Chains A and B, each alone.
Chain A
Amino acid sequence: MLEFVVPALNVKAILPQAILALTALTVLLVDVFSSQGKKSSSLGYLVVIGVVAAMISTLMINGARESAYSGMVMVDGFSSFITLIVCVVTLLTVLSTINYQQFFEELNCGEYYCLLLFAAVGMSFMGSASNLLMLFLALETMSISIYVLAGFKWHDRKSIESALKYFLLGAFASGFLLFGFALIFGTTGTMDLVKISAFLTAHPEMIHSRMLMGGVALVTVGFGFKVAMFPFHMWTPDVYEGAPTSVTGFMATGVKAAAFAALVRVFFVALGHVQADWTGIMWLLAFLTMTIGNVVALSQTNIKRMLAYSSIAHAGYLLVGFVAGSKQGQAGILFYLMSYAFTNLGAFGVIALLGKKGGEYTELQDFAGLGFKYPLMGLAMGIFMFSMAGIPPMAGFMGKFYLFSSAMKAGFVWLAIFGVINSVISLYYYLRVVVVMYFQEAEQSISMPKPSPAVVVGLVLAAIGVMQMGIFPSYIWDMAQQSVQSMLM
Chain B
Amino acid sequence: MNQLGFPILSLVMFFPVFGALILMMIDKESKDVLRGTAVAFTVIEFFISLPLVVYFNDATHQMQFVELIPWIKSFGINYHLGIDGISLWIVMLTTFLTPICVLCSWTYIQKHVKEYMVCLLILETAMLGALLALDLILFYVFWELMLIPMYMLIGVWGGVQRIYAAVKFFIFTAAGSVFMLLAILFLYYYNHKVTGIYTFNILELYNLDVPVSVQFWLCLAFFVSFAIKVPMFPLHTWLPDAHVQAPTAGSVILAGVLLKMGTYGFLRFAMPLFPYATHQFIPVFGTLAVIGIVYGALVAMVQPDMKKLVAYSSVSHLGYVMIGLFALNMQGIEGAIYQMLNHGISTGALFLIVGMLYERRHTRMIKDFGGVAKVMPVFATFFMIATLSSVAVPGTNGFVGEIMILVGAFRSFPVFAIIAASGAILGAVYMLWMYQRVMFCPLDNPENQKLKDLNVREIVTLLPLAVLVFVMGFFPGLFLRKMDASVSYFLNDFNTRYEHYVQQYEGNLGSKVAAVMSAEAAGGSVVE
Docked pose: A423 CA to B170 CA in angstroms: 13
- Cβ-based interface call for B18 (8 A): no
User: Is there an interface contact between B182 and A416, defined as CB atoms closer than 8 Å?
Assistant: yes
CB-CB nearest in chain B for A375: B115
Docked pose: A232 CA to B151 CA in angstroms: 36
CB-CB nearest in chain A for B178: A420
User: Is there an interface contact between B181 and A420, defined as CB atoms closer than 8 Å?
Assistant: yes
User: Is there an interface contact between B144 and A391, defined as CB atoms closer than 8 Å?
Assistant: yes
User: Is there an interface contact between A420 and B179, defined as CB atoms closer than 8 Å?
Assistant: yes
User: Is there an interface contact between B186 and A408, defined as CB atoms closer than 8 Å?
Assistant: yes
User: Is there an interface contact between B182 and A404, defined as CB atoms closer than 8 Å?
Assistant: yes
The interface stretch among A73-81, A246-254, A424-432 is: A424-432
- Cβ-based interface call for B156 (8 A): yes
Contact with A along B384-417 (1 / 0, CB 8 A): 0000000000000000000000000000000000
Whole-angstrom distance from the CB of A72 to the nearest CB of chain B?
Answer: 33
Known contacts A393-B145, A397-B141, A408-B186: A438-B179 contact under CB 8 Å: no
User: Is there an interface contact between B182 and A420, defined as CB atoms closer than 8 Å?
Assistant: yes
Docked pose: A191 CA to B525 CA in angstroms: 60
User: Is there an interface contact between B74 and A424, defined as CB atoms closer than 8 Å?
Assistant: no
User: Is there an interface contact between B74 and A435, defined as CB atoms closer than 8 Å?
Assistant: no
- Cβ-based interface call for A105 (8 A): no
Known contacts A420-B182, A427-B174: A438-B152 contact under CB 8 Å: yes
Question: In B145-202, which residues have CB < 8 Å from any A CB?
Answer: 145, 147-148, 151-152, 155-156, 162-163, 166-167, 170-171, 174-175, 178-179, 181-182, 185-186, 188-189
Docked pose: A386 CA to B141 CA in angstroms: 13
- Cβ-based interface call for B140 (8 A): yes
Whole-angstrom distance from the CB of A430 to the nearest CB of chain B?
Answer: 10
User: Is there an interface contact between A439 and B171, defined as CB atoms closer than 8 Å?
Assistant: no
Q: How many residues of chain A are within 8 Å of chain B by beta carbon?
A: 33
User: Is there an interface contact between B163 and A474, defined as CB atoms closer than 8 Å?
Assistant: no
Whole-angstrom distance from the CB of B157 to the nearest CB of chain A?
Answer: 10
User: Is there an interface contact between A428 and B171, defined as CB atoms closer than 8 Å?
Assistant: yes
Contact with A along B286-308 (1 / 0, CB 8 A): 00000000000000000000000
- Cβ-based interface call for A372 (8 A): yes
Interface size class of B (residues with CB under 8 A): 35 or more
CB neighbours of B512 from chain A (8 A): none
User: Is there an interface contact between B185 and A404, defined as CB atoms closer than 8 Å?
Assistant: yes
Whole-angstrom distance from the CB of B161 to the nearest CB of chain A?
Answer: 11
User: Is there an interface contact between A435 and B167, defined as CB atoms closer than 8 Å?
Assistant: yes
- Cβ-based interface call for B362 (8 A): no
Whole-angstrom distance from the CB of B195 to the nearest CB of chain A?
Answer: 16
User: Is there an interface contact between B141 and A474, defined as CB atoms closer than 8 Å?
Assistant: no
Known contacts A404-B185, A431-B167, A435-B155: A474-B74 contact under CB 8 Å: yes
- Cβ-based interface call for A157 (8 A): no
User: Is there an interface contact between A408 and B185, defined as CB atoms closer than 8 Å?
Assistant: yes
User: Is there an interface contact between A416 and B185, defined as CB atoms closer than 8 Å?
Assistant: yes
- Tell me what chain A mostly uses at the interface: helix, strand, loop, or mixed: helix
- Cβ-based interface call for A355 (8 A): no
- Cβ-based interface call for A392 (8 A): yes
Whole-angstrom distance from the CB of A232 to the nearest CB of chain B?
Answer: 28
CB neighbours of B140 from chain A (8 A): 392
- Cβ-based interface call for A413 (8 A): yes
User: Is there an interface contact between B115 and A439, defined as CB atoms closer than 8 Å?
Assistant: no
Task: Identify which of A375, A392, A439 contacts B163 (C-beta below 8 A).
Answer: A439
Docked pose: A386 CA to B149 CA in angstroms: 12
- Cβ-based interface call for B284 (8 A): no
CB-CB nearest in chain A for B192: A409
Task: Identify which of B72, B156, B186 contacts A438 (C-beta below 8 A).
Answer: B156
Contact with B along A430-458 (1 / 0, CB 8 A): 01101100111000000000000000000
Task: Identify which of A409, A424, A428, A431 contacts B178 (C-beta below 8 A).
Answer: A424
Task: Identify which of B137, B141, B145, B162 contacts A439 (C-beta below 8 A).
Answer: B162
Known contacts A409-B189, A438-B152: A427-B171 contact under CB 8 Å: yes
Known contacts A372-B115, A420-B178: A405-B185 contact under CB 8 Å: yes
CB neighbours of A372 from chain B (8 A): 112, 115
Docked pose: A427 CA to B112 CA in angstroms: 25
CB neighbours of A392 from chain B (8 A): 140-142, 144-145
CB-CB nearest in chain B for A417: B182
Question: In A433-489, which residues have CB < 8 Å from any B CB?
Answer: 434-435, 438-440, 473-474, 477-478, 481
Known contacts A391-B147, A420-B178, A477-B74: A408-B163 contact under CB 8 Å: no
User: Is there an interface contact between B189 and A408, defined as CB atoms closer than 8 Å?
Assistant: yes
CB neighbours of B152 from chain A (8 A): 438
CB neighbours of B181 from chain A (8 A): 401, 404, 420
* Nearest 5 CB-CB pairings of A with B: A420-B178, A392-B141, A439-B155, A424-B175, A408-B185
22 CB < 8 A contacts A-B: A391-B144, A391-B145, A392-B140, A392-B141, A393-B145, A397-B144, A401-B181, A404-B185, A405-B188, A405-B189, A408-B185, A408-B189, A420-B178, A424-B174, A428-B171, A431-B151, A431-B167, A432-B167, A434-B155, A435-B167, A439-B155, A439-B156
5 more A-B contacts (CB under 8 A) besides A372-B115, A404-B182, A439-B155? A372-B112, A401-B181, A408-B185, A439-B162, A439-B163
